Structures are given as C-alpha cells and as structure tokens.
C-alpha cells in the first residue's frame, strides 16, 4: 500500500488521479440517481427486461463511440478532449435534471443519459491512454492499481451519495432532479483540474491519422484491431477483461433484482431496497480496494499469469458456494469476491495493454478495448433476460458466472503457456506480461 501511495508524489499522476476520481464520483452519483428513480420509484416498476433495455440503450450505442474516441484521441490533445468532454457532460446533466423534474418517460431519460455516457467514453479512454505519459513504464502496474481502483471506489461512493441524499431529501421527482443536478459540480471540477496539464503533456506523441474524421475513425478502428491481433498479449488481455466484465454484468442484474423484489426483510444491520443497494456498493468498493492493494505485490511475487489463474479459480468457487444461497449476507460475500476479482484482473490487463501497445496506437487500442467491454456487459444483461427470474433468485446465472470465471482463468494460463513456447515470438510478447518489477517514481 505504501508503494501505491508513494506514486502520488509524481505530480502528473496525482493530477490525473484527481481527475479520474472526480469523474468517477460524478458517474456513480448520476447512475445512482437514475437507479433509485427507475428501480425503486412506485410509479416506475420494472422487470428484468426493462432493466436490460435500460442498459442496452445506455451501453450498446455508447459502444459505437469507442472507435471515434480512439481515432480522435490519437489525433487531438488528450488534455483538451478531457476538458471539453467534461464541460459537455455538465450541460447534459443539467438537461437530465430538468427532464426528471418534468416527469418525462424513462426512454427520454435514457436517451439523454446515453449522450452523457457516450461523451464520457472520451474521458475514460483519454485517461487510460494518458497514463503512460505520467509514470515510467515499469511503474504502470502500480499506477493503474492506484488510478483505476480509486476511480472504482469513487464510483461506488458516488452511487452511495445519491442513494443517501434520496433518503434525506425524499423520492419525489423534484428531489431526485436536485440530486442529479449536483453531479455537474464534479464534472466541472474535473475539467478545471485537467486544464492544469500542458496542452500536449498527455499525448499523443505523434499521429499518422488522415485529415478526414470519418476516414480516421474507420482507419483507427482497423489499425487498432490489427494492432491487438499483432500483439498476442494485448489480444488476450482484451478477452480476459471482456469475460470478467460479462460476469460482472450478470451479477449486477441479479443483485439489482434481488434487492428490488426478493429481499423483503433485513438481517441485523443489512437491509433490502435502496439501503441494501448502498450496502452492496460499499462492500463492492471494499472488494475493489482489496484487489488493488493486493495485485501489484502478488504479481511481483507470483507473476501475472499464475495470479490470474489462482484468482479466477478462487472466485469461481466462491460464486458457486455462496451465490446460490440468495440471502443478503451471502450476496454481500459474493459481491466482495467478484469486485476483488474484477479489479485485480483489470489492473493486470490494463497494464498489459498499456505496456505492450505502441503509444501511437494506445488510444485506438483502449477505445476498442472499452467498446468490447461494454458489448460484453450488454450481452450479460440480454442473456440475463432469458435465464434470470423476475426476483433474481435463479441458479442458472450463478452456475454460468462460475463457469466463465473458471474457463477464463485456465484459458488465459494455457494461452500464455503456448506463447512462451512459440518459436520466434516477438520480443515484446512477454516483456510486461509475466511479471511486474518494483514500482519507480521517476
């Protein structure tokens, strides 16, 4: 933990982490406000299909933004993109708050929220692509653990903030509109901090993009995909996070339905309904934090491949043992384990993508990476409509999640073993994919 905090002495990284935390807190608060409005408002009763539709509307078109983000992030100043994207989100959040106050239908809210999330893709991809410009390459594992984990925890706290304000102010549309409006303050603060970077401090270093934007998008998508295929460790990293993201999405749907309809009575300090969702967010944040603290030192000791196999095998067993009990406490145990596994896996794989991709391609690769992750998240919700019952207590989803975790861990281990034995493999293949050297703050 001291090693991660030591990285905050690097001014550029510290500033980038501040931007990520503020953006993530705003994202969590915005999503939390929409969740309490859509899931727990008496006037807006939902079923699994409604929840899936909401996520499809938010994430499937949003994924289309990925190639645009990648191409443009490798052409434009990433600092400028992060600043302007956050300012645009401020305006859109204000519009959503007005729509909520006017009691407009869910679909109207989803469309505007889609725009907010789409613009947010530029922020997320920009922050990830900027990371190699803030620390030395051999410090990327620790820097990613610090940045992505603080962001994930901030998202959970932001969601809890929205739910807590709902408990204090009430659940009327006007009160939730006020909660939503406060989100723009966090996006505005992130934009202001980002202005303190020099114009090209976050890259890109150089560009080979054509002048026409559409041509740049198509060429960027193609070149990003080609780069992923040409770098086996990068391609494997994308597949691993897609699989873990799928499991995370299916678990999210199950948990939302359990706390909406299945859990009707509390247990000790544990509560159903929106309060229970806040508790789940807190436990999930603890899992994310634990994954971040443990990952860098364990990877240095065991190597990334061995750690991924052990981690995903263990979470598969935990999901099978506790996920099917469908009690509040067992759901919290499973949530902690899934949050831990997701964050640890993503820290490892983000570092591989950053270290094994050329800087001229990293924006496009991360945009493709994020697009694939969102598509797998949407796929989880679409499949959930078919296999998850209305109250969320179905064993089919539990078994599927456990199986995907197990197959991903052992599949990654087998693939990396094949790479180590491949004759004439590129020297970059395993340069950063098996171990993480001690972090430096140069």
- pLDDT at residue 156 in the model: 84
Confidence (pLDDT) at 14: 93
Residue 203 Rama label (left phi>0; alpha psi -120 to 50; beta): left
| Residue ranges of domains in the chain, CATH in brackets | 2-206+225-421 (1.20.1250.20)
CA dist 296 to 82, 257, 345, 422, Å? 28, 34, 11, 27
What's the pLDDT score for residue 71? Answer: 65
CB atoms within 10 A of CB 422: 11
- Of 230, 238, 199, 207, give the one whose Cα is nearest residue 66: 238
pLDDT band of 142, cuts 50, 70, 90: confident
Tokens encoding 118: 């789409």
DSSP letter for each residue of 368-386? HHHHHHHHHHHHHHHHHHH
Answer yes or no: is pLDDT of 163 > 70.
yes
Mean pLDDT (the chain, rounded): 84
Interatomic CA distance for residues 55 and 21, integer angstroms = 23
**Within 10 A of 42 (CB to CB), how many other CB atoms are there?**
6
> What's the count of helices (H) and strands (E) in the chain, helices before strands?
15, 0
Q: 267 phi and psi, to 5 degrees?
A: -145, 110
Find how far residue 149's CA is from the centre of its chain.
10
How is residue 399 written in tokens?
């078994």
Kindly report each contact of residues 322-329 with a partner whose C-beta sits within 8 Å and lies 24 or more positions away, as own/partner: 323/251, 323/398, 323/401, 323/402, 324/395, 324/398, 324/399, 326/258, 326/262, 326/392, 326/393, 327/267, 328/263, 328/266, 328/267, 328/270, 328/271, 328/272, 328/276, 329/267, 329/270
What are 355-412's pLDDT values in tens digits?
Answer: 888 777 777 787 788 778 888 988 998 899 899 998 889 999 999 999 999 999 999 9
C-alpha closest to that of 113 among 164, 65, 55, 73: 55
Whether 215 shows a pLDDT value over 80: the answer reads no
Q: Residue 162 — pLDDT band, cuts 50, 70, 90?
A: very high
Q: What is the pLDDT of residue 216?
A: 64
3-state secondary structure of 45: coil
Give the pLDDT band of residue 213 (cuts 50, 70, 90). low
Q: Model pTM? A: 0.73
C-beta of residue 375 within 8 angstroms of C-beta of residue 282: no
What pLDDT does 423 receive?
60
> How far apart are alpha carbons 161 and 164 in whole angstroms?
5
Mean pLDDT of 127-151: 84
Can you tell me the distance from the alpha carbon of 345 to that of 342, in angstroms, rounded to the nearest whole number?
5
- Cα-based distances in Å from 152 to 48, 147, 261, 285: 25, 9, 27, 7
Strand partners, 270: 267
- The 10s digit of each residue's pLDDT in 38-84 is 777 666 666 677 777 777 766 765 566 666 666 677 778 899 999 99
Percent of the chain with pLDDT over 70: 85
Token pair 């939902």: residue: 46
- Diameter of the chain measured on Cα atoms: 65
30 band by pLDDT with thresholds 50, 70 and 90: very high
Cis peptide before 204 (omega within 30 of 0): yes
pLDDT 10s digits, 256-297: 888 888 887 766 667 777 778 878 888 988 998 898 889 889
For the segment 237-252, the average pLDDT, to the nearest whole number, is 94
């Amino acid at each position: 933990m001291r090693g991660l905090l030591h990285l905050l002495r690097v001014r550029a990284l510290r500033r980038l982490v501040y931007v990520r935390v503020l953006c993530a807190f705003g994202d969590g608060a915005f999503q939390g406000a929409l969740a309490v409005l859509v899931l727990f408002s008496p006037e807006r009763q939902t079923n699994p299909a409604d929840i899936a539709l909401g996520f499809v509307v938010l994430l499937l078109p949003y994924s289309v933004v990925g190639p645009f983000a990648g191409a443009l992030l490798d052409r434009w100043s990433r600092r400028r993109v992060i600043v302007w994207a956050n300012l645009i989100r401020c305006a859109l959040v204000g519009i959503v708050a007005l729509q909520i106050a006017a009691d407009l239908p869910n679909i109207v809210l989803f469309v505007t929220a889609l725009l907010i999330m789409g613009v947010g893709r530029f922020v997320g991809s920009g922050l990830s692509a900027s990371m190699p410009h803030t620390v030395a390459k051999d410090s990327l594992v620790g820097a990613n653990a610090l940045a992505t984990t603080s962001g994930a925890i901030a998202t959970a706290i932001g969601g809890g903030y929205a739910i807590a304000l709902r408990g204090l102010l009430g659940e009327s549309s006007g009160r939730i509109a006020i909660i939503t409006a406060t989100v723009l303050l966090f996006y505005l603060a992130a934009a202001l901090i980002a202005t303190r970077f020099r114009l090209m401090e976050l890259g890109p270093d150089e560009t080979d993009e054509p002048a026409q934007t559409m041509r740049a998008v198509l060429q960027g998508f193609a070149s990003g995909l080609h780069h992923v295929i040409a770098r086996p460790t990068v391609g494997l990293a994308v597949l691993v996070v897609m699989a873990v993201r799928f499991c995370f999405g299916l678990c999210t749907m199950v948990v939302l339905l359990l706390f909406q309809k299945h859990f009707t009575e509390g247990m000790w300090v544990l509560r159903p309904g929106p309060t229970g969702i806040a508790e789940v967010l807190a436990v999930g944040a603890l899992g994310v934090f634990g994954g971040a603290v443990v990952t860098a030192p364990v990877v240095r000791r065991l190597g990334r491949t061995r750690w991924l196999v052990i981690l995903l095998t263990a979470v598969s067993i935990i999901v099978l043992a506790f996920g099917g009990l469908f009690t509040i406490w067992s759901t919290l145990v499973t949530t902690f384990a899934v949050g831990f596994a997701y964050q640890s896996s993503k820290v490892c794989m983000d570092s591989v993508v950053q270290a094994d991709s050329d800087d001229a391609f990293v924006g496009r690769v991360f945009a493709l990476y994020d697009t694939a992750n969102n598509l797998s998240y949407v796929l989880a919700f679409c499949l959930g409509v078919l296999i998850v019952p209305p109250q969320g207590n179905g064993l089919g989803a539990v078994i599927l999640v456990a199986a995907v975790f197990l197959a991903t861990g052992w599949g990654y281990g087998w693939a990396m073993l094949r790479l180590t034995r491949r004759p004439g493999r590129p020297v970059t293949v395993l340069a950063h994919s098996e171990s993480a050297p001690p972090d430096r703050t140069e």
